[in-house]
Amino acid sequence: MCIFCSIVNKKIPANIVKEDEEFIAFKDINPKAKTHLLVIPKVHSENFQMTEPETIAKVSSFIQALAKEKNIENNYKIQINNGEKAGQEVMHLHFHILSNEAI
Ligand code: 5GP
Ligand code: ZN
């Protein structure tokens, strides 16, 4: 089981900030900004390229709601590292949500 699946299954702890049936958002263990969250689908998918467009559409709504709830809706960046050569270290799709505002 991959490390992010272990977070989904609550086998390893994480600072979870939002969760629904399909997605989970938690704080990055090594933040690169004042706020650095990771948003992942609960069902394992290796990377962006290999993920169903339907899932990508749904995660957009999840991220928009998350940003609104945390009052960073006018101040965040999304980063996806797709593939090892692009810097992807954890092979479970994740969206980096970065903001210079604290939540
Ligand atoms: P990548 O380089 O794959 O796009 O990003 C992986 C991210 O996952 C990194 O920013 C890293 O700090 C974070 N990360 C790796 N392992 C853990 C973990 O066990 N818990 C949390 N919360 N973040 C992790
Ligand atoms: Zn996984």
Pocket test for ligand 1, best of 12, 36, 89, 93 (most atoms within 8 A of CB): 89
- The residues that are catalytic are 94
Segments of the chain scoring below 70 in pLDDT: none
Tokens of 44: 């394992």
Q: What is the pLDDT of residue 84?
A: 98
Ligand closest to the CA atom of residue 2 = 2
Ligand closest to the CA atom of residue 12 = 1
Q: What is the pLDDT of residue 95?
A: 99
Residue 56 Cα distances to 32, 35, 66, 76, 94, angstroms: 24, 22, 15, 18, 11
Q: Tell me the domains of the chain and their CATH numbers.
A: 3-99 (3.30.428.10)
